[in-house]
Structure 1
Amino acid sequence: MEMTQEKNLKLHDDVASCERLKMLKFFSMIHRLKNIKRAGWVRTNVSNPESVPDHMYRMAIMSMFIPSSSGVNKEHVMKLALIHDMAECIVGDITPYDKVPKEEKHQREREAMQKLSDLAGPEVGPELYSLWEEYEQQSSPESKWVKDLDRYEMIHQAFDYEKQENKPASLQEFFDCTKGTFQHDEIKKWVQELETQREAHIKQS
């Protein structure tokens, strides 16, 4: 009886140790994101372009400013913001300029998230994958807010770079590609205010 209990305890410890090793590997995998520069800024020759987690972090902070009257779970929005580009630690930041078919891009990212979710373990992994899939499918009100935040953060960053590099209106293409795509009135107000500030900056330059 005592021998059986000892074997069971050792087996439990071995399983726990294996899960911890996988968890640490997961932490190292997502570390790669810190070294992945956002492809749009690299392509447009921005100096010192932001990394993928820079983008996701500011999105997460922005989610705190969603009005309570929206009725969405802001904590859930924050989680989605922090997860939505996680697959890029394996597949990289794939943009339309890479000419990768949408279905293939989704397949690569799905396989990456499956790998990451496995490493994250049975408690956290399924949630990570579920959050990513929810965003990809745009299947909840929270995921739709994150889509707006994703686009808004990009144009806000574009304006930041225009000011930082003293190149007014140089990143107009990012504003053009998001025009008319915002779904929520609150975010539309942010966009309007940002564009007002940008127009004033252009005139002053």
Structure 2
Amino acid sequence: MLLMKFPTRNGIGVIQGDQLSARTCYATALKSVASKPPMEVMTLQGLPNGSEPIDDPREENPTPMVQPAEELETVILNEEFPDRWVKIGTNLDPDLRRQFIDFLRQQAEVFAWSYDDMPGISPDVISHKLSISTVHKPVRQKRRSYDAERYEAMRAEVDKLKSIGFIREATYPVWLANSVMVRKARGGWRMSGLYRSE
């Protein structure tokens, strides 16, 4: 059955197709193409007046990465923990730069450098909820399979989040979506989609 639903001002609109009509239409289109003489193929050798070629939309152009407005330098805030660093602009006034770095080093404990630095955050402070309309029927996606590398990245992320109480296991959820794995620009994986609703 061919069916498409879409929202309208007056509720949910429905378009229903008919497979027999669709096949008949397709067969008619094929017959009309077969009865026409073959099309002549033309090749363009050049563009008039030195104009630029039109970009082919099928070519994959990667989205350009946003670049900082100025050169940045890395400042380590604690020599005992070299992985705790920030980047600041190089065009700062030297006196302001020194004051800024001193301030950041004094306040370094306010930054969360890992999940372990923020265990047990109360849901009153922050929590994630999905606003799902009760009008719509809940959907449970089919389980998606991933390669071993993605499974390992997912397992590590879930273990980290479970160990500090950010997430918990849901048994028999009514609404379920697969996790989405996105490769980071600097290597590794980012996981999103740990959602559920009961």
Q: TM-score, normalised by structure 1?
A: 0.22
* Larger RCO: 1 or 2 (CA < 8 Å, sep 6+): 1
Higher helix fraction (1 or 2): 1
TM-score (norm: length of structure 2)? 0.23
Q: Which has the higher strand share?
A: 2
- Rg bigger for which structure? 2
